[in-house]
A = this chain, B = another copy of it.
Amino acid sequence: MESIGVGLIGTGFMGKAHAIAWNAVKPVFGDVPSIRLAHLGETSDELASLKAVEFGFAKSSGDWRKVIADPEVDVVSITTPNRFHAEMAIAALKAGKHVWCEKPMAPKLAEAETMLAAQRRSGKVAVLGYNYIQNPAIRHIRKLLDEDTIGAVNHVRIEMDEDFMADPAAPFQQRHEAVNGWGAIDDFGVHPLSLVRTLFGSVARVMCDMAKPYPTRKTENGDRDVEVYDIATILMRLENGASGLIALSRTAWGRKGRIAIQIVGAKGSILYDQERMNEFQLYVTSDRATEQGFRTVLTAPHHKPYDRFVPAAGHSLGFNDLKIIECRQLIGRMRGEETAAITFDEGILIERTVAAMARSFEEGCWIDI
């Protein structure tokens, strides 16, 4: 692989993050082929052209199919709204392109299954945009678990909370329609589940409750029923038998990007919060009793691949840096390396767990996965 030709579809929050990552991955990591920013797709020629200049892409199109058809393109970043993922990813895979698709796979489990089938037929790499698992802190936590630093894990709690839907006076928006899914469990829940997979493996069963703090929202024509659930609370059992819970809220005032993880083992505990993504906390019983306490460990060059960004400890990576690492993992997969990434193979397990949560809520009982 002399160089990698990149196609990018979508230029919103995630589209820009992909663009930044594609620009930075070579300067940051060095050990990757040259990156050719080949073709950018948007909903109009004008927007595509404008963004191509900004993001440094050579060509642009108002039709995403041209991006996928472009022989200069080896891999396609798909960062459009969730309902377009399936069609685009399947088309790209059929065209023999690798795929870097934003999470979740698709609003309906059936669609996600067809995406996986397409990937399997193509033999191409298809990586999902679960960037939180790429944090050197998270990867180090995984290493600590592998090394049995805290012993066998018996209990896990993950909370994901933001407040962008917290204002009851904010108007009805498309997000409140059932066509977009369930709300918290798919919009947020997939992130905690990506962390569960990365750190512990599979979820065996779930018991889910959902709540709708603001059942109606204002429109220009009066109030309209909100069809999704901004809050979800889930009891779970992992395959290894550990008990746990996931709590999700998009209406938690004051929380901005919280993903708080608590892991308890037989010999210690680990804590993490995405809002302070450059640190984690570790408690181990091997410390002398009178000085046992949660250590706040700042990420540093020895927590790989932090070192590729900054050679000094405690100097902080940012959200976009996680996407750069994810991009490096994708490239590794394209080169046959065993990198840490959630591909369609693993992503489908996340989607199935979300579907089980939904069924559990509807039936009011535990659902096995």
Chain B: which residue is nearest A285 at the CB level?
A: B253
Task: Tell me which of B235, B287, B364 contacts A209 (CB under 8 A).
Answer: B235
Q: Are A311 and B13 in contact (CB under 8 A)?
A: yes
Contacts of A292 on B, CB cut-off 8 Å?
Answer: 254, 295, 297
Judge whether A204 is part of the interface by a CB distance below 8 angstroms. Answer: no
Contact with B along A150-166 (1 / 0, CB 8 A): 11001101010010101
Q: How far is the CB of A178 from the nearest CB of chain B, in Å?
A: 19
- Quote the shortest CB–CB distance from A214 to chain B (angstroms): 8
Any chain B CB within 8 A of the CB of A355?
Answer: no
Cβ of A16 < 8 Å from any Cβ of B?
Answer: yes
Is there contact, CB below 8 Å, between A297 and B302? no
Are B314 and A320 interface neighbours, CB within 8 A?
no
CB distance from A244 to the nearest CB of B (A): 7
Contacts of A297 in B (CB 8 A): 290-293
Stretch at the interface among A116-124, A219-227, A266-274, A333-341: A266-274
Report yes or no: A256 in contact with B314, Cβ–Cβ below 8 A: yes
Chain A, 250-280, CB within 8 A of any chain B CB: 251-258, 262, 264-269, 275-279
* A71 proximity list for chain B (CB < 8 A): none
A166 to B365, CA, bound (A): 30
Collect the chain B residues with CB atoms within 8 Å of residue A316's CB: 257, 275, 277-278, 316-319
List the B side residues contacting A366 at CB < 8 Å: 364
Instruction: List the B side residues contacting A257 at CB < 8 Å.
Output: 298, 312-316
Asked if A315 meets B256 with Cβ closer than 8 Å, knowing A285-B167, A296-B293, the reply is: yes
Report how far A231 CA is from B249 CA in the complex, Å: 23
Q: Does A27 contact B (CB under 8 A)?
A: yes
Which of chain A's residues 33-63 have a Cβ closer than 8 Å to chain B?
Answer: 34, 53-56
CA distance A66 to B245 in the complex (A): 49
Total identical chains: 4
Question: When each residue 310-332 of chain A gets 1 if its CB lies under 8 Å from chain B and 0 otherwise, what string results?
Answer: 11111111111100000000000
Distance of A203 from chain B, by nearest CB (Å): 13
Cα-based distance from A293 to B294 in the complex (angstroms): 9
Closest Cβ of chain B to A127, distance in Å, is: 21
Select from chain B the residue with minimum beta-carbon distance to A159.
B157
Give A284 to B255 CA distance when docked, in angstroms. 12
Contact of A216 with B by CB under 8 A: no
How many Å from the CB of A278 to the closest CB on chain B?
8
In the complex, A199 has a CB within 8 A of chain B: no
B243–A245 CB distance below 8 A: no
Query: Which of chain B's residues has its CB closest to A254's CB?
Result: B283
- Chain A residues 111-157 with CB under 8 Å of chain B are 140, 144, 149-151, 154-155, 157
Which residues from chain B contact A321 at a C-beta distance below 8 Å?
318, 320
A251-B155 contact in complex given A290-B303, A293-B298, A312-B256, C-beta closer than 8 Å: yes
Interchain CB contact under 8 A, A24 and B26: no
Q: Does A342 contact B (CB under 8 A)?
A: no
Nearest CB of B to A52, in Å: 11
Alpha-carbon distance between A282 and B150 when the two chains are bound, in angstroms: 20
Whole-angstrom distance between the Cβ of A7 and the nearest chain B Cβ: 16
Contact present for B30 and A231 (CB under 8 Å):
no
Q: List 6 A-B contacts (CB under 8 A).
A: A27-B54, A164-B313, A233-B235, A254-B269, A292-B297, A318-B321
